[in-house]
């Protein structure tokens, strides 16, 4: 790493991300905030394309948050049976529906602070919903974002809270949502957990590759 800075230049990273992935956006398909919340709950350890397939089936049977409130989680789970964690996901969706109907007048709340009060909704899920359904500046620090923030030298470790603060400090507030989608693309295409493809990475010129010992 001789000659490189200890942390990447955020302006250079921004320009490189915009050039390589200008179209990066949320790949979960949803027609309203409730559908997006369901999709994000389903996305744990599941590819977005698979989630979209399952959502298409759910949408044939259930419309709106009201349709989920009286569902037995086991009945919902039968639609999710091939997904990882399907029992937990079914329970989280039905509990979220009841909470939103009885505590939020049937409307998905808009802020992260309100969203994280919903049973089964963590900070990353809340940030995805706030950012993509309501256009609120929000950083969804998933495992890609955590890993990349660390390798770029912006976060002392790959950790959700540290990465969220690092991304907020590095980028313009108005760009947070888009940058997270671009970093996810970077993580999938180049900055893999094992043996990252630094040779074809658009930010390699400024990245200190913190903790990377076996790059391609």
Half-sphere exposure of 122 (CA within 13 A, CB side): 12
With CB under 6 A as the contact rule, the residue among 67, 104, 116, 212 that binds ligand SF4 is 212
Is residue 209 within the footprint of ligand SF4 (CB under 6 A)?
Answer: yes
Instruction: Tell me the number of residues near ligand SF4 by CB under 6 A.
Output: 14
Which stretch, 25-33, 83-91, 132-140, 207-215, contacts ligand SF4 (CB under 6 A)? 207-215
Q: Which residues, 182 to 201, sit near ligand SF4 by CB under 6 A?
A: 190-191, 196-198, 201
Nearer to ligand SF4, 7 or 59 (CB): 7
With CB under 6 A as the contact rule, the residue among 150, 151, 179, 185 that binds ligand SF4 is 151
Shortest separation between residue 199's beta carbon and ligand SF4, angstroms: 8
**R_g (Cα) of the chain, nearest Å:** 19
Shortest separation between residue 33's beta carbon and ligand SF4, angstroms: 32
Is residue 129 within the footprint of ligand SF4 (CB under 6 A)?
Answer: no
Shortest separation between residue 173's beta carbon and ligand SF4, angstroms: 22
Shortest separation between residue 148's beta carbon and ligand SF4, angstroms: 6
DSSP the chain: -TTS-SS--HHHHHHHHHHH-TT----S--SSHHHHHHHHHHTTTS-HHHHHHHHHHHHHH--TTHHHHT--HHHHHTTSTTSTTHHHHHHHHHHHHHHHHHHSTT----SHHHHTTSTT--HHHHHHHHHHHS--------HHHHHHHHHTTSSSSS-HHHHHHHHHHHS-GGGHHHHHHHHHHHHHHT--SSS--GGG-TTTTT---TT--S--
- Site mask, ligand SF4, residues 15-54, x = CB under 6 A? ----------------------------------------
Q: How far apart are CA 43 and CA 80, in angstroms?
A: 11
- Residues engaged in binding ligand SF4 (CB under 6 A): 148, 151, 190-191, 196-198, 201, 203-204, 207, 209, 212, 215
């Amino acid at each position: 790493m001789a000659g490189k800075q200890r942390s990447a230049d955020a302006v250079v990273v921004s320009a490189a991300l915009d050039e390589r992935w200008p179209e990066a956006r949320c790949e979960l398909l949803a027609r309203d905030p409730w559908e997006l919340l369901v999709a994000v709950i389903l996305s744990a350890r599941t590819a977005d394309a698979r989630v979209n397939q399952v959502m298409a089936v759910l949408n044939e049977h259930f419309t709106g948050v009201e349709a989920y409130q009286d569902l037995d989680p086991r009945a919902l789970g039968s639609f999710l049976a091939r997904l990882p964690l399907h029992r937990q996901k079914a329970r989280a969706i039905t509990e979220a529906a009841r909470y939103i109907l009885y505590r939020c007048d049937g409307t998905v709340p808009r802020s992260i602070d309100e969203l994280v009060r919903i049973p089964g909704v963590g900070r990353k899920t809340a940030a995805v919903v706030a950012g993509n359904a309501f256009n609120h500046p929000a950083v969804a620090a998933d495992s890609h974002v955590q890993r990349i923030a660390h390798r770029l030298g912006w976060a002392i470790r790959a950790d959700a809270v540290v990465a969220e603060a690092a991304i907020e400090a590095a980028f313009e507030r108005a760009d947070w949502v888009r940058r997270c989608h671009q970093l996810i693309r970077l993580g999938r295409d180049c900055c893999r957990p094992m043996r990252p493809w630094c040779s074809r990475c658009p930010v390699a010129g400024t990245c200190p590759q913190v903790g990377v010992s076996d790059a391609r």
